[in-house]
Amino acid sequence: MLEPPGKPVSDRTSVELFAGGGGLAMAVHRAGFRPLLVNELVKHACDTLKANVAESRGGDERIPSAGERWPLVEGDVSRVEFGYLWDRVDLLAGGPPCQPFSLGGVARGDEDKRNMFPEMFRAIRQIQPKAVICENVRGLLRPSFRPYFEYIERELKLPFEERDDDTTWRDHDEVLRARLSEEPADPKRRYQVVTTKVNAADYGVPQIRNRIIMVAFRSDLGVDVAGFEDAVRPSHSEAALVRSMLDGTYWKRHPDVPDQVRRRVMSRLPTTPPRDDGMLPWRTMRDALKGLDGQPPLPDVPWDRLDRREYNLGGFTDHIGWPDARIYAGHTPNELDRPAKTVKAGVHGVPGGESVLLTDEPLPEPLGHSPYPYRHRYMTVRETARVMTFPDHWRLVGPRGEQMRQLGNAVPVALGAFFAKAIAAALDEAESQR
Prediction pTM value: 0.92
Distance (Å, whole) CA 278 – CA 4? 16
Report pLDDT digits (tens) over 86-121: 999 999 999 887 555 544 444 344 555 667 889 999
Provide the 10 A C-beta neighbour count for residue 269. Answer: 14
Confidence grade of residue 10 (pLDDT, cut at 50, 70, 90): low
Total residues found in the chain within this entry: 434
Distance (Å, whole) CA 121 – CA 155? 8
Q: E-strand spans in 203-281?
A: 210-218, 236-237, 280-281
Q: Which of 96-110, 212-226, 337-351 has the least mean pLDDT?
A: 96-110
For residues 303-318, average pLDDT: 90
291, 297 Cβ separation under 8 angstroms: yes
For residues 20-26, average pLDDT: 96
Confidence grade of residue 8 (pLDDT, cut at 50, 70, 90): very low
The pLDDT of residue 62 is 87
Report pLDDT digits (tens) over 418-434: 999 999 999 999 999 87
Cβ contacts of residue 248 below 8 Å, gap of 6+?
none
- Among 3.40.50.720, 3.40.50.150, 3.50.50.60, 3.60.9.10, what is the CATH number of 12-235+409-432? 3.40.50.150
Average per-residue pLDDT for the chain: 90
**Residues noted as catalytic:** 98
Report pLDDT digits (tens) over 242-297: 999 999 999 999 999 999 999 999 999 999 999 999 999 999 999 999 999 999 99
Is residue 387 predicted with pLDDT exceeding 80? yes
Is residue 384 predicted with pLDDT exceeding 70? yes
The pLDDT of residue 350 is 58
For residues 308-332, average pLDDT: 90
% of the chain with per-residue pLDDT over 90: 75
Report pLDDT digits (tens) over 262-273: 999 999 999 999
Delimit the domains of the chain by residue range: 12-235+409-432, 237-398
> 32 versus 113: which is more confidently predicted?
32
The pLDDT of residue 6 is 43
Cβ contacts of residue 185 below 8 Å, gap of 6+?
none
Is residue 367 predicted with pLDDT exceeding 70? no
Provide the 10 A C-beta neighbour count for residue 65. Answer: 7
The pLDDT of residue 14 is 98
Is residue 169 predicted with pLDDT exceeding 90? no
336, 284 Cβ separation under 8 angstroms: yes
Is residue 54 predicted with pLDDT exceeding 90? yes
The pLDDT of residue 106 is 40
